[in-house]
Amino acid sequence: MTSMPAVQASGLVKKFGAVRAVDHIDLEVRTGEIFGVLGPVTGQVS
């Protein structure tokens, strides 16, 4: 049995001015999974 995604996104793009930091990514996090994103200032990530 496959669980439904708790979070699902597709085609995400993030720009900072002319810089494209994320270019059309797909993301899926299923119920019960642990997922984290770390950036350069990890103390401010919630």
Residue 43: its pLDDT value, please? 61
pLDDT tier at 10 (50, 70, 90 boundaries)?
very high
Paired strand residues for 27: 9
Q: What is the mean pLDDT of residues 20-46?
A: 80
C-beta separation of 13 from 20 below 8 A: yes
Non-local CB neighbours of 33 within 8 Å, separated by 6+ positions? 6
Count of structural domains within the chain: 1
For the chain, report the end-to-end CA distance as a whole number of angstroms.
31
Non-local CB neighbours of 17 within 8 Å, separated by 6+ positions? none
Q: What is the mean pLDDT of residues 20-37?
A: 90
Residue 4: its pLDDT value, please? 82
Q: Which domain holds residue 9?
A: 5-44
